[in-house]
């Protein structure tokens, strides 16, 4: 007898089976190559971690392999910016799905330099501007924030990825300059971009990701034991807002389909990671670097979809 479908032994069995089944599938998708540093990964890595509200982390496959979290970092930076801002933040970046690629510049001109949401690059650059203006040492504050949430000190920023992001970040620079021209970037563009690229270069593994984001499954309070136990990371309202934005905009231009077929707030990164928040249950994090045409991890999306269906997890 395994108890309820959501008991740890059952979760372990489900994810072990999913990883085994995954490995029988033909390899689909391509590793991101927009910067050279992201190409140097094992394309066939696949891992999953599920962290439940009691802090138990259940893993399978390459769950403890570090990888470049890329856009998943946009969750941490949004929470950091929200905790030091009032609702005026939402006049500088909106909360609407964009219906465009994550790095698209086309809406910015017609919408006066106000990005559609904080999960696309333009929005995350505005959020970086807020962090740069509110924290005296933004990069250090960012690493400290994530380290405390992971319980891993210090978390690492991959300097090769960081250098590569800076060298090849022309499109992000173009968006930052356009927003500066509209008055929506207040700091120096160079400093804002430097911080944005730094966030993107964070390396974590599935276990870290799942543990660090538990507060989003628990109304803003980090529930696990250890340094951050019981700490309010963000208010209940901000927790609700982050989850709402993840539900509508977290999976690039496949967010609608993901809500339709899975129904969990989630965020993807072009490094091949995806995190999904299950309110009042926990967090699922997956990694597999081959991406589909939307920039979402091919195997990762399949793993989360199957896991959520098997355990009956959906917010809808």
Coil vs helix vs strand at 174: helix
Contact call for residues 284 and 278 (beta carbons, < 8 A) = yes
The residue from 121, 254, 255, 297 that contacts ligand GLU (CB under 6 A) is 121
Q: Is the peptide bond before 179 cis (omega within 30 degrees of 0)?
A: no
At closest approach, how far in Å is the CB of 9 from ligand GLU?
34
Cα–Cα distance, 153 to 127 (Å, whole number): 24
Residues 216-275 that bind ligand GLU (CB under 6 A): 269-270
Residue from the set 46, 60, 62, 70 that interacts with ligand GLU by CB under 6 A: 70
- List Cβ<8 Å contacts ≥24 apart for 58-61: 58/8, 58/11, 58/12, 58/15, 59/15, 59/206, 59/207, 60/12, 60/15, 60/16, 60/18, 60/19, 61/19, 61/22
Q: Based on the residue annotation, tell me whether 270 is a catalytic residue of this protein.
A: yes
**71 vs 117, which CB is nearer to ligand GLU?**
71
- Known catalytic membership, residue 65: no
Tell me how far, at minimum, the Cβ of 209 lies from ligand GLU, in Å.
Answer: 13
What minimum distance in Å lies between the beta carbon of 124 and ligand GLU?
8
CB 216 within 8 A of CB 280: no
The least distance separating ligand GLU from the CB of residue 268, rounded to whole angstroms, comes to: 7
Q: Is 74 a catalytic residue?
A: yes
Nearer to ligand GLU, 57 or 72 (CB): 72
CB-count burial class (<10 Å; 0-12, 13-18, 19+) for 64: middle
Under rule CB under 6 A, residue 158 binds ligand GLU: no
Told to judge if 196 belongs to the known catalytic residues of this protein, a careful annotator would answer yes
User: Which residues are designated catalytic?
Assistant: 71, 74, 196, 252, 270
In the complex, the residues that contact ligand GLU under the rule CB under 6 A are 70-71, 102-103, 121, 165, 172, 200, 269-270
């Amino acid at each position: 007898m395994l108890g309820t479908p959501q008991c740890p032994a059952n979760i372990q069995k489900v994810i072990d089976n999913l990883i085994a089944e995954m490995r029988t599938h033909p390899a689909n998708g391509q590793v991101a190559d927009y910067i050279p540093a992201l190409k140097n990964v094992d394309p066939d890595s696949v891992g999953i971690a599920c962290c439940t509200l009691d802090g138990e982390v259940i893993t399978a496959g390459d769950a403890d392999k570090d990888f470049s979290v890329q856009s998943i970092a946009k969750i941490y930076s949004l929470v950091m910016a929200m905790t030091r801002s009032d609702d005026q933040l939402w006049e500088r970046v909106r909360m609407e799905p964009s219906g465009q690629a994550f790095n698209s510049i086309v809406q910015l001109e017609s919408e006066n330099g106000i990005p559609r949401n904080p999960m696309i690059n333009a929005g995350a650059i505005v959020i970086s501007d807020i962090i740069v203006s509110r924290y005296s040492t933004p990069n250090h504050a960012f690493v400290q924030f994530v380290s405390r949430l992971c319980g891993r000190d210090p978390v690492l920023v991959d300097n090769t990825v960081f250098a590569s992001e800076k060298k090849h970040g022309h499109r992000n620079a173009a968006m930052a300059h356009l927003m500066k021209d509209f008055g929506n970037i207040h700091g120096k563009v160079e400093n804002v971009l430097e911080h944005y690229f730094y966030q993107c270069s964070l390396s974590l593994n599935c276990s870290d990701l799942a543990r660090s984001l538990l507060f989003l499954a628990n109304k803003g309070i980090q529930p696990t034991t250890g340094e951050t136990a019981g700490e309010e990371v963000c208010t209940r309202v901000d927790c609700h807002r982050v989850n709402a934005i993840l539900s509508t905009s977290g999976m690039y231009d496949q967010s609608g389909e993901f809500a339709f077929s899975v129904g969990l707030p989630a965020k993807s990164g072009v490094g091949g990671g995806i995190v999904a928040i299950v309110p009042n249950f926990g967090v699922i994090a997956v990694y597999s670097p081959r991406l589909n045409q939307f920039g979402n991890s091919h195997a990762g999306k399949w793993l989360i979809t199957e896991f959520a269906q098997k355990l009956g997890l959906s917010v809808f």
